Every structure is written in structure tokens, then in C-alpha cells.
Amino acid sequence: PQQVAYRLTRTADNPPDGHNPQLGYGVVNPYRALTSLLGTRTDPPAGAMPPPDPVDDPLARQRTIAFWAAGVSALLAGALLLARPVLALGRRRGWRPGRRAGTADA
């Protein structure tokens, strides 16, 4: 068990930057673990593996659409809340124009 762990550790492909969250300290290379002679190699090269590509966000487009839909909905709700008293006043007057301020009924 210790020999197997030692062999797997010594023959793993190390990431170029050392430890990183995606790969840890490296990736097991089973072919090299079975075929390499450990006495001839002291340590795998540090830059054996290229750094991982940044992961594209698969939901970026949906998030953008949701953001805009929420913004437009909020603006529409605000406009309706502002229009409600104006529409109620117009309905009360029968949609006739209001009187000017300061004029008296004759």
C-alpha cells in the first residue's frame, strides 16, 4: 500500500503553478505509474501540465435576460403605480378636463 501510494505520487502530472483548486497537487498518470522506473527520475517536471482553461459560465446569457426582465418589470410596475391615481381622477371626472385653479363657479 505505501509503495503504491509512493509510486502514484511520484509519477503524477503536477500542475504548473503547484497546488490549485481544480487539480489539487496533480493528476494521477496511471500509464507512467505502471511503466516508469522510479530510480531514474527524482521529480516530475513542474510545468508538465498546462494550466486549466477558465470555465465559461453556461448560464451567463440566461442571467443577463433575467436581469433585464426584472428591471423592465420593476419599471413597468412603478409606472402603473404612478398612473393609478391619475387614471382614477380622470374616471371620476368622466374624462373631462379639470378646472383651472383659482376660478370660481358662476
Query: Residue 43: what pLDDT?
Result: 60
Measure Cα distances from 92 to 87, 88, 89 in Å. 9, 6, 5
pTM of the predicted model over 0.85 = no
Has residue 49 been placed in a domain?
A: no
Query: Residue 79: what pLDDT?
Result: 97
Which residues 6+ apart lie within 8 Å of 20 measured at CB?
A: 51, 52
* DSSP helix/strand/coil, 30: helix
Q: What's the domain range around 26?
A: 2-40
Has residue 31 been placed in a domain?
A: yes
For each of the chain's 106 residues, which pLDDT tens digit applies?
788 888 888 788 877 777 777 777 778 888 888 887 776 555 656 656 666 778 888 899 999 999 999 999 999 999 999 999 999 988 998 888 877 777 666 5
Has residue 52 been placed in a domain?
A: no
Tally of domains in the chain: 2
